[in-house]
Structure 1
Amino acid sequence: MNPNAAVASGRAAELGHKLRRKAVQVLAPLIAGRSVILTAGAARNRPLERAFREAGAQGVSSVALPANRAASIRQLLMVQEEQLRRPPGPLAAAFDAVDPARQAVIYAGSFTACDQVDGRRVLGSRSAAQFALESKDHQAAIIGPDDSTKRLVAIGTDERHRTVELLAEPLIRSGGAVLSGVPYDFPALGASHIYLARSASDVARLLPVLATDCRQVRLSRFNRGWPCTYYGFVGPSWSCQVGPFEALVFVDRRSGRIRAFGIAGPVQLDPAGGEGTRATVSRVASRLAATGYRGAFGVDGVVEGAEYVVHEVNPRVCAGMSLVNELAAHELSGMLIDLVLRERPHEASVAFSTDLPVFAVTLSQSPPALRIWDGSTAGLPPLTGAALSAAWLTSLRQALAGGTLQPLGEAE
């Protein structure tokens, strides 16, 4: 139990309100006197609408993208990106209806790499190089180079598949091999192409499945341990992080598919363990900053013994950051901080470099919350108290697992 949780919660709301005022001040020169259109994941976001208005926007409108019945978050975002790049007729007309002169600026959230929509500038979009960092074949610069436990291998032919099978043998003997596909056309998202192979036959079965839309696989050792996630922000010469959060990750016993359901936390680690994982995340953030990236990020990995093994880094506002907003009593939007860091990194760093790290530490001590993005919260155990208990986490994992899923930390 964390006796300071209630104090931390109140302090987080206070700091969040202060940081929000600073973010609005940094945002003002970008949009004062201009019309703003919110779309994609930012459409109808009331806190963002309020922030833009307070920053002096002449008007703030929302244009929702056409309905998208995608089967996965990856497909959803792939369709949205195409809609922004080449707006179909009805969508183009919707933008023109609120901005016939095409003088407005657009904010479409943290994910997009689209820099204009029918001539309207998109604020906070990522460069092509920053967008590419999402892909497993570009992450070595952030999480470290290949070694005996992880490597990138081409697939798509029988000869290549035999090479993968040979490389997987020692990994399987050590407990399992993880195959993370690198798709041809769009980054893998939401654990969309990640499988656990426990045998050579699993590898032989999975490679043709991955080869249908992947050109490579990241082959790595299966890390037994506690899956957890950190969220943070990186500026030109500083970074901060919130967490860790338990990553609710499971493996399907039948297919080997790894699925991520959500997060819970923050979790309070012992001082030594917390210091070690935070140091690892700080190193990752420094490498991310070295690429020129500024803004929000998320880090996924596993605490294995005394080591935090990083599996991937997402340079954007991740789904779980909505939980961070909740912990701050919705006084601060992760998208707002991300936007001003991307658009005005120097000015944002002057505004945030002292208070934002304090805010992040305070949030990490706040009462826990739960965020589910794959499935329903119906039937899950209620979350009570100022800290996550081991018993509650066990009951949550059991409720999510059902009949065919196994918590990743318990996989054999």
Structure 2
Amino acid sequence: MDLFDPAQRQAWIDDLGTVFAGRRVIAGIAPLAGLVDLVPLTRDAGADGLMFVANGTGAGPVPSPDDGRVVLVEVARYPTVTEELRAHDRLLRDLPDAVRAEVDDFDPDRKAVWLVGPFVANEPIEGRDVVGGRRRSWIALEDKIVAEEIWSAVGAAQSPYRVVPADSPDLLDEASAALDAGSGAVWSGDARDGFNGGGEFVRWVTDAAEREAALGFFAPRCDRVRVMPFLEGVPCSIHGMVLPDGTAVFRPVELAILRDAGRRFVYGGQGTSWDPADRDREEMRDLVRRTGEHLRERADYRGAFGIDGVMTADGFRPTELNPRFSGGLNTLARGVGYAAFSLLQYALVAGRDPGVSTAELELWALAAMDAERVVKPLAVSDRRVVEESLEVRLSWDGERLRRDDGGQLTLVVGPSAAGTFAKLVPGRAVRPGERVGPLNVALMRFLDEELGTGFGPVEAAPDVR
């Protein structure tokens, strides 16, 4: 298939969309604004109707009453994004009675399909098929300790590390001292109790106070902790998709993982404007290809995955595996074809014929992703500073964001289950070769000054390569 041909590409997308054709679709759980993209996706695929199961309104435009039926699930405030995401699967499998009644009224014969996110298992929900979730065995791969086993198996260039019991202070101290290359050690907890992300189970440890705080955090939450040296350089990721005939590999993505004065990692958004050296890019892509084939053999894996890491002075060093359609790939897909990549992911995780070969997908997607750069600065605060979504036009001078009715950027801020969520749209103010990190720093500074979000001074990681 020639995916460069718009007609052939559309025919391929139409074929992938048959999973929804003639069926009712129940989408969720997520903030309502986070479900708006599913309206054209399912409508164009011929869905018979759409219901949104939402845990709040979120930030930005929301579906209209004509787009589908909305049912809001009342949830308690979650202390972290990790806790919120962990709750998705449990909540959908034990819906409040009033919500279950709404769902059954929408789909009384239980022939609808649930369209869920990657933190929900790909198992029926009250007799209804699930699209978009993952096998539980694939979810279990999202553990930083398991990731190190995979890097060893595929021959990746790894940073030195040790795995230590979370309740062993002496062993943690010994590992930190042995691995400290001059800037401290980084402790990362396992996924004993389920997924963790957004840096919430990662601590940069350089002194006694940070050590005590890290011990207090990890001991009740994890069995094991991975200790490695702090890695200086640009945080970045690289992504691929495992198809029946191989692994398609895409381009690098910069991750706006910022640092504050307390050596806390503060997660922001992603961008595809940054370019590593050609040699580094190809080494990253080769690692993804080897990892995809290992995942196929190890876990019968299919679909998207990403490798996060740091572009250090010595090259790319992987730090975690995300066996799902992660934020970096979502950013890549936004620039070249959200529907195509979303529908392809749904087909792959369901074991359906993707209708395209690895070579065909990679040839088209890589060229398109290199041509169409996207930056997506984000900020998530644990403070609830707004009760409804608001928008502000901004301009960017390369250093600061300022209110400007004629500005090229729109700041969208809204409440979330864990506090406040903010993003810049359309987010195309960074030229190829530039980085998204400084723009994300400016976003958090603006939010602190205008709304009191409490991020404090943050800085982007330097490029040391």
Structures share fold, TM-score greater than 0.5: yes
C-alpha deviation, 1:406, in angstroms: 3.6
Shift, 1:325, TM fit: 3.1
Shift of 1:103: 2.1
* CA distance in structure 1 between the aligned counterparts of 2:256 and 2:159, rounded to whole angstroms: 27
Residues 207-235 of structure 1: CA deviation (Å, up to 9, x unaligned):
12222322221111211222112233221
Task: Pick 1 or 2: higher relative contact order, CA cutoff 8 A, min separation 6.
Answer: 1
What's the offset of the Cα at 1:180?
0.7
Match of 1:372 among 371, 377, 398: 377
**1:382-393 superposed matches below 5 A:** 383-384=428-429, 386-389=431-434
Judge conservation of contact 1:181–1:217 (CA < 8 Å) in 2. yes
Instruction: Label 1:386 to 1:249 Cα distance change in 2 as closer, same or farther (>3 A).
Output: closer
The whole-number CA distance in structure 2 between the counterparts of 1:79 and 1:172 is 36
Offset at residue 128 of structure 1 (A): 1.4
| Structure-2 separation of matches of 1:37 and 1:154 | 42
**Matched AA of 1:86:** D
Asked if the contact 2:253/2:328 (under 8 Å) is kept, the reply is no
**Equivalent of 2:316 in 308, 318, 323:** 308
Q: Assess, with a 3 A threshold, how the Cα gap between structure 1 residues 76 and 21 changes in structure 2: closer, same or farther.
A: farther
Return the match for 1:93 from 101, 121, 139.
101
Q: Partners in 2 of 1:49 and 1:356 — Cα distance?
A: 25
For 2:78, give the aligned amino acid.
Answer: A
1:149 counterpart (153, 157, 160): 160
Quick one: structure 1 residues 219 and 237, their matched pair in 2 at CA, closer, same or farther if it must change by over 3 Å? Answer: farther
| Structure-2 separation of matches of 1:119 and 1:403 | 47
Secondary structure at the aligned position of 1:320 is classed as helix
**Are 1:361 and 2:371 an aligned pair?**
no
Letter in 2 for 1:59: G
CA separation in 2, counterparts of 1:124 and 1:173? Answer: 42
SS at match of 2:130: strand
Please give the secondary structure, in 1, of the residue aligned with 2:371. Answer: coil
Q: CA 1:112–1:385 in 2, change beyond 3 Å: closer, same or farther? A: closer
Measured against aligned partners, the alpha-carbon deviations of 1:116-142 in whole angstroms (never above 9, x if no partner) come to: 222212123211111111122332343
- In the alignment, the residues of structure 1 paired with residue 340 and residue 335 of structure 2 have an alpha-carbon distance, to the nearest angstrom, of 11
Cα deviation, residue 263, structure 1: 1.1
Task: Summarize the alignment of residues 187-336 of structure 1 with structure 2, pairs less than 5 Å apart.
Answer: 187-199=195-207, 202-254=210-262, 256-290=263-297, 291-328=299-336, 330=337, 332-336=339-343
SS of 1:298 mapped into structure 2: strand
Q: State the alpha-carbon separation in 1 of the partners of residues 141 and 123 from structure 2.
A: 17
Would you say the 8 A contact 2:28–2:53 is kept in 1?
yes
Q: Which string of whole-angstrom CA distances, capped at 9 and with x for unpartnered residues, describes residues 194-252 of structure 1?
A: 11112355324421222232222111121122211223322133222333122111233
**Correspondence for 1:77:** 85
Report the Cα distance in structure 2 between the residues aligned to 1:90 and 1:210, rounded to whole angstroms.
37
Q: 3-state SS of the aligned residue for 2:339?
A: coil
In 2, the alpha carbon distance for the partners of 1:195 and 1:184 equals: 17
What is the aligned partner in structure 2 of residue 170 from structure 1?
178
> For the residues of structure 2 that align with 1:82 and 1:250, how far apart are their CA atoms?
31
Q: Write out per-residue CA displacement over residues 86-106 of structure 1, whole angstroms, 9 at most, x where no aligned residue.
A: 112122112112111222221
Identity of aligned residues (%): 24
Cα 1:122–1:389 change in 2 (3 A) is closer
Residues 1:21 and 2:28 aligned together: no
RMSD value, Cα: 3.2
Distance change >3 Å, CA 58–CA 185, structure 1 → 2: same
Amino acid at match of 1:140: E
Which of the numbers 29, 41, 51 marks the counterpart of 1:40?
Answer: 29
Describe the SS at the equivalent of 2:370: coil
State the aligned residue count.
391
**Greater displacement, 215-224 / 66-75:** 66-75
How far apart are residue 27 of structure 1 and its match?
4.3
Q: Which moved more, 1:143-152 or 1:200-209?
A: 143-152
**Cα shift at 1:161:** 1.4
Q: What's the CA shift for 1:288?
A: 2.4
Alpha-carbon distance between aligned partners in 2 of 1:268 and 1:193, rounded to the nearest angstrom: 28
AA aligned opposite 1:121: D
Contact kept in structure 1, 2:199 and 2:265, CA below 8 Å: yes
- Is 1:405 matched up with 2:394? no
Q: Residues of 2 paired with 1:223 and 1:16: CA distance?
A: 43
- Deviation of 1:397 after TM superposition, in Å, equals 4.2
Q: Does 1:342 align with 2:349?
A: yes
**Separation in 2 of the partners of 1:398 and 1:33?**
46
Provide TM-score, normalisation by structure 1. 0.83
In structure 2, runs of 5+ residues without a counterpart are 56-72, 382-391, 395-399, 403-408, 410-427, 446-454
Structure 1 CA distance for aligned equivalents of residues 442 and 430 of structure 2? 20
Contact conserved, 1:142 with 1:284, CA < 8 A, in 2?
yes
Letter in 2 for 1:100: P
1:26–1:344 Cα contact (<8 Å) kept: no
Following superposition, the deviation at residue 312 of structure 1 comes to 0.8
Distance 1:351 1:410 in 2: 37
User: 2: distance between equivalents of 1:70 and 1:16?
Assistant: 44
How far 1:323 moved relative to its partner? 2.1
TM-score, structure 2 normalization: 0.74
Residues 330-384 of structure 1 show CA distances to partners (whole Å, capped at 9, x for unaligned) of 5535332210111134x11x42423320233123312432213324996548654
- The SS at the match of 2:179 is helix
Task: Quote how far apart the aligned CAs of 1:399 are.
Answer: 5.8
- Note the C-alpha offset of 1:82: 1.4
CA contact (8 A) 1:137 1:182 kept: yes
The residue aligned with 1:6 is none
Q: Find the partner of 1:61 among 48, 51, 57.
A: 51
**1:306 offset after TM fit, Å?**
4.5
Gaps of 5+ in 1: 1-10
Q: Name the amino acid aligned to 1:87.
A: L
Which amino acid is 1:81 matched to?
D
